[in-house]
Structure 1
Amino acid sequence: MEHFLKRLIADGENLHLDFKYCVSDSRKIARTLSAFANSDGGKILIGVRDNGSVAGIKTDEEIYMVDTAAHLFCRPEISYTIKQHTTGGKTILEVDVLRGTKRPYQVKDENGKWLSYFRNNDQNLLANRVLLQVWRKEEKERGVLVKFSKAENSLMNYLKENRSVTLSKFRKIAGISSYKAEAILSNLIIFRILNMKASEKGFFYELNPEEPAIPCVGTGSIQH
């Protein structure tokens, strides 16, 4: 088990792994729980510093804080498993979170507002409205129908000449509302026609290079 932990820690923080030196605020760890449940799941190692050095936990308070985060500060509640490991005489908590089936998972912030997070590399980022729509549509049993109207075609043609587009830019070139633009982008992400990229500068949408050619001229529809 100690070898497993060392290998895991050596990988460093990433899309599926987060280190916590300690848990002093249930709301903060709730963001990581939400991010993993909204993404592809992951592990939280409590008692490990950001640089990978092992500090260990001093009390069982962290277990209580995680439970509070999952059940009081997350909506819907987030399921997880927790294990204790000992390495070098120090105790580490391993919190395992699976990808949720009731996305979006929200976190209650200090002002009582419910927000959703997702995992981007080794960061927890706040989800935008497009991503929230993607999650809600994917959790529904009903399929999604995409009609290639003037707005969709203008987007496809723009992305033939440009690497990416922002929501505001798409609104301008298509002459549509934010609500309509968000609905179109979320549908095209579900169909894997578009990829969404996130950074500190914001959200960008690109054509998925792995997808086959799609209709970009005239009108048509596809169903998911």
Structure 2
Amino acid sequence: MIQTKADYIHARIAEGEHQQQDFKFEISDARKIAKSLSAFSNTDGGRLLVGVKDNGKIAGVRSEEEIYMIEAAAKLYCKPQIDCEMHVHTVEGRTVLEVIVPPGEQKPYCAKDHDNRWWAYIRVRDENILATPVHIKVWQQAGTPKGVFVHYTETEQMLLDYLSSHDSITLNQYCRMAKISRPKAENTLAKFIRFELVEPYFDGQRFLFRQNEKSS
């Protein structure tokens, strides 16, 4: 069976919004779209379907200006710039714009807010969440050799021991328990994430850190 553009879009809409897909009824603010582009680029990549309501109903893109706003978001309000693919589909007489965002190779990708500050986001399920300083350090360390652990410091071993008998820990809890500064705690967590000893997860309100199942 030959799949038409309409079939393709209906199949994507049927998936609903998820970690790699977001619906946008309209594009009215390039800075808000930059957040989505940042989140997709910093995570697993993804797809924006513009002209589709949150409930999956096709409303259609209202003007070509929305295409220009996406280009502005990717080039002017994201740092580094994000290269997106854009495809125009006609479905039920309405235009749906598909924006494909690849996983980034120069993380972190930051989006500029209305106060001209730059923030990095990640995609968690169907939400764009502000990345933590630990995420930033994981990305910054990504270009450096991992090396091999010869031994753990006292505060590193303290973290591993705690997570072997507890479900999770917050950054602040680790700072207090080990009596170390936030930057040092962030560096340790980032290093352990890179070595797949620890993994971050979002509980709906904040990021916590738990033992990576691969290491247990």
Q: 1:57-93, CA deviations, whole angstroms, 9 ceiling, x for partnerless residues?
A: 1211110000000011011100110000011111100
The match for 2:156 is: 152
| Aligned partners of 2:199 and 2:211 also within 8 Å | yes
Q: Could you tell me which residue of structure 1 aligns to residue 197 of structure 2?
A: 193
1:136-180 Cα offsets, whole Å, 9 max, x none, are 111x15335555111111111111211000001111111111111
CA distance in 1: counterparts of 2:146 and 2:10, whole angstroms: 44
CA distance in 2, matches of 1:25, 1:144: 44
Q: Please give the alpha-carbon distance, in whole angstroms, between the structure 2 residues aligned to 1:144 and 1:83.
A: 43
Please tell me the residue identity of whatever aligns with 1:67: E
Q: Partners in 2 of 1:145 and 1:179 — Cα distance?
A: 22
Secondary structure of the 1:100 match is: coil
Q: Match of 1:197, SS?
A: strand
Secondary structure of 1:165's aligned partner? coil
Secondary structure of 1:68's counterpart equals helix
Does residue 169 of structure 2 align to residue 165 of structure 1?
Answer: yes
Corresponding position of 1:15: 19
Maintained 8 Å contact 1:165/1:205: yes
2:145 paired with 1:142: yes
1:48 maps to 52
> TM-score scaled by structure 1?
0.91
Query: How far apart are residue 201 of structure 1 and its match?
Result: 2.3
Secondary structure of 1:130's counterpart equals helix
Q: What code does the residue aligned with 2:52 have?
A: V
CA contact (8 A) 1:171 1:177 kept: yes
Question: RMSD in angstroms over aligned alpha carbons?
Answer: 1.2
**Partner AA of 1:197 in structure 2:** Y
- Out of 113, 117, 128, the residue aligned to residue 121 of structure 2 is 117
Alignment of 1:168-179 (within 5 A): 168-179=172-183
CA contact (8 A) 1:20 1:49 kept: yes
SS in 1 for 2:208: strand
- 2 CA distance for matches of 1:57 and 1:194? 43
Letter paired with 2:202? A
In 1, the alpha carbon distance for the partners of 2:148 and 2:134 equals 17
- What is the DSSP-based 3-state SS (H/G/I as helix, E as strand, rest coil) of the residue aligned with 2:213? coil
Query: In 2, are the aligned partners of 1:144 and 1:187 still within 8 Å (CA)?
Result: no
Q: Is the 8 A contact 2:170 2:207 kept in 1?
A: yes
Q: Is structure 2 residue 63 aligned with structure 1 residue 59?
A: yes
State how far apart, in whole Å, the 1-side matches of 2:9 and 2:104 are. 25
Name stretches of at least 5 consecutive residues in structure 1 with no aligned partner.
214-224
Runs of 4+ in 1 over 6 A off after TM superposition: none
CA distance in 2, matches of 1:100, 1:133: 16
1:105 to 105, 109, 118: 109
Relative distance call for 1:15 and 1:171 in structure 2 (3 A) is same
Q: TM-score, normalised by structure 2?
A: 0.94
Q: Tell me how far apart the structure 1 counterparts of residues 147 and 82 of structure 2 sit (CA, whole Å).
A: 27
Q: Which residue of 2 aligns with 1:6?
A: 10
Shift of 1:119: 0.2
Q: Specify the SS of the correspondent of 2:62.
A: coil
